[in-house]
Amino acid sequence: MKVAKIILTIIIIAVILFFGAMIFVPQFGWGLVFIKSGSMEPVIKTGSGVIIKKQDRYNEGDIITFVNKNGNLVTHRIVKISEDNSKLFKTKGDNNNVVDVWPITEKQIKGRVTVILPYIGYVISFLKSKFGIATLILTLLIYFIGDEIMKSKRIEKKK
């Protein structure tokens, strides 16, 4: 029971910290993005989360997250930067055979990938679902009820 209590406490703290970070971190130029495709494998696996940070300058080889022409977030590597004043970036997914069709501007870039959190996207997606929320609440209820039952039994034994 002690091990279960420790594990559940760690999970609760992690969930609180994660959702707290989702609220406060963007205010400091940081962001969290979930990877939904395999275009950056094997470096970034599908289902991973990446922490991005807005930069003053981006270089060839940087993995960045940007808003594409359809308004979707994309995480790809910069493969070429134009040398003229237009400052256009050509990008490509590591697992893709061709460079992305449309170059992007610096205004479209949300940030450079600074940390990769493997598979955390699956966990967060689960916790955001109705089933995930219900599972979390049910787990907490079982934990607290079980803890109270154990306390009652200990009190009974002492008597």
pLDDT in tens, 136-152: 888 888 888 888 888 88
- pLDDT at 119 exceeding the cut of 90: no
pLDDT in tens, 39-83: 999 999 999 989 999 999 999 999 999 999 999 999 999 999 998
- pLDDT at 120 exceeding the cut of 80: yes
Query: What's the pTM?
Result: 0.72
What class does CATH assign to 30-119?
mainly beta
Query: What is the C-alpha to C-alpha distance for residues 135 and 128, in angstroms, rounded to an integer?
Result: 11
Query: What is the C-alpha to C-alpha distance for residues 75 and 38, in angstroms, rounded to an integer?
Result: 10
Query: What is the C-alpha to C-alpha distance for residues 139 and 123, in angstroms, rounded to an integer?
Result: 15
The domain ranges of the chain are 30-119, 129-159
